[in-house]
Amino acid sequence: MELKIAVLPGDGIGPEISAQGVDVMTAVCEKFGHKVEYKYAICGADAIDKVGDPFPEETFKICMESDAVLFSAVGDPKFDNDPTAKVRPEQGLLAMRKKLGLFANIRPVETFDCLIHKSPLKDELVRGADFICIRELTGGMYFGEKYQDNEKAYDTNAYTRPEIERILEVAYQYALRRRKHLTVVDKANVLASSRLWRQVAKEVAEKYPEVETDYMFVDNAAMRMIQDPKFFDVMVTENTFGDILTDEGSCITGSMGLLPSASTGEHTPVFEPIHGSWPQAKGLNIANPLAQILSVAMLFEYFNLTEEGKLIREAVNASLDADVRTPEIQVEGGARYGTKEVGAWIVNYIRTH
Ligand code: IPM
Ligand code: MG
């Protein structure tokens, strides 16, 4: 296969983990005989500094002309502490989602046995938890009409039937390939937008009798996720609820630095770690590259290159078993490995297996 990849390293630790993702991708392509071509593009604070726009037109063009985007992270504290800043790095991420029509954000929540002790939950609750949160990504309050003056402000949580239908279809496709259990998360006891979600969900559910569908209010879902995370298989929800629940999901596994994600929709799909730009670690060679490397696995799997994805997952597990780990997950007394060393170990594993 020939793959054209747009690489968007972004800010903070982004460029360091991006380099490891690219090396792994190259090694896998060499091994399986795929041709890959990379085009680098700027985004986030880096792009604001360079051209005054966190998602410049040129970057958009490169994304549109590629088969997939390998994205790392955006964000810089100099903008967080400046309420007068007119443009922010995060706007680049939102612009990318909107312009590429990335309405489906796929966030797997999986555990790694060797990291379960890092979970704030009891071992027996979290061991074996494995679910996917499908978050609607281009609608709701993030993009609805907004207003703000000194006395009043609002964000509109608007959804249309087609927007709800298409994300539910994605969720059912995942449920069919997994344990056939879908939980639709909403707040239909209070919100009109949620009542439309539930109404549409009930209609779509009839097309999938082999999937067990249940409906849960978001407050209850937040509670259930920490009381009984193994209850969930596939969960689908709107943009804002999904933002909150996926942060909760990522930390209950103890593996925040290991979780990748995919955003798919109308145009080029984007693959990225779920963690942020960790500006304090920039340039220190301590950031964990595994979430980025696993997002490369998701990228291959998206194109049905399952063996390629499997080899990356196997290499990641082998690195953890061999205690080749970045400092935040290293075992006591274990050797010190940096971002580059972990990446190089995985590349070597791929070449030799
Ligand atoms: C996420 C992030 C973004 C969001 C921010 C950085 C705009 O929290 O991807 O979950 O709120 O969607
Ligand atoms: Mg978030």
pLDDT at residue 151 greater than cutoff 80: yes
pLDDT at residue 328 greater than cutoff 80: yes
Q: Two tokens at 98?
A: 């909107």
Catalytic residue among 219, 228, 310, 321: 219
Neighbours of ion ligand 2 (CB under 5 A): 243
For ligand 1, what atom is nearest to the CA of residue 276?
6
pLDDT at 121 (0 to 100): 95
Per-residue pLDDT tens over the stretch 251-289: 998 888 899 999 999 999 999 999 999 999 999 999 999
Alpha carbon of 56 to those of 53, 95, 116, 198, 234: distances in Å?
5, 9, 40, 37, 35
Per-residue pLDDT tens over the stretch 26-47: 999 999 999 999 999 999 999 9
Q: Two tokens at 224?
A: 């259930």
Q: How many whole angstroms separate alpha carbon 89 and alpha carbon 83?
A: 13
- Cα dihedral 50, 71, 26, 64 sign: negative
The CB of 90 under 6 Å from ligand 1? The reply is yes
pLDDT at 86 (0 to 100): 85
Reply yes or no on whether 243 is catalytic. Answer: yes
> Which residues are paired to 4 by β-bridges?
37
pLDDT at 331 (0 to 100): 87
DSSP one-letter string for 99-112: HTT--EEEEEEE--
The CB of 212 under 6 Å from ligand 1? The reply is no
Give residue 142 CA to ligand 2 midpoint distance, Å: 12
The CB of 30 under 6 Å from ligand 1? The reply is no
pLDDT at 325 (0 to 100): 95
Q: What is the mean pLDDT of residues 325-336?
A: 90
Share of the chain above pLDDT 90, in %: 91
Q: Two tokens at 336?
A: 């010190």
The CB of 243 under 6 Å from ligand 1? The reply is yes
Give residue 169 CA to ligand 1 midpoint distance, Å: 23
> Which residues are paired to 213 by β-bridges?
182
Using DSSP, state whether 297 is helix, strand or coil: helix
DSSP one-letter string for 37-81: EEEE---HHHHHHHHS-SS-HHHHHHHHTSSEEEEEE---HHHHT
Q: Starting at the edge strand that comes first in sequence, how are the strands of the sheet with 2-10 ordered?
A: 35-40, 2-10, 68-73, 270-273, 260-264, 104-110, 130-136, 234-237, 181-186, 212-217
pLDDT at residue 83 greater than cutoff 80: no
pLDDT at residue 209 greater than cutoff 80: yes
Residue to probe by mutation, ligand 1, list 71, 90, 245, most atoms within 8 Å of CB: 90
Alpha carbon nearest to ligand 1 atom 8, residue: 243
Alpha carbon of 47 to those of 88, 101, 161, 275, 295: distances in Å?
10, 21, 36, 20, 23
Ligand nearest to the CA of 107: 1
Q: Two tokens at 21?
A: 């993702």
Give residue 127 CA to ligand 1 midpoint distance, Å: 27
Q: Two tokens at 285?
A: 């060679």
Give residue 174 CA to ligand 1 midpoint distance, Å: 22
Using DSSP, state whether 341 is helix, strand or coil: helix
pLDDT at 113 (0 to 100): 87
Give residue 35 CA to ligand 2 midpoint distance, Å: 34
Kindly list the structural domains of the chain, giving each domain's residue range(s) and its CATH number in brackets, ordered by start: 1-100+268-353 (3.40.718.10), 103-263 (3.40.718.10)
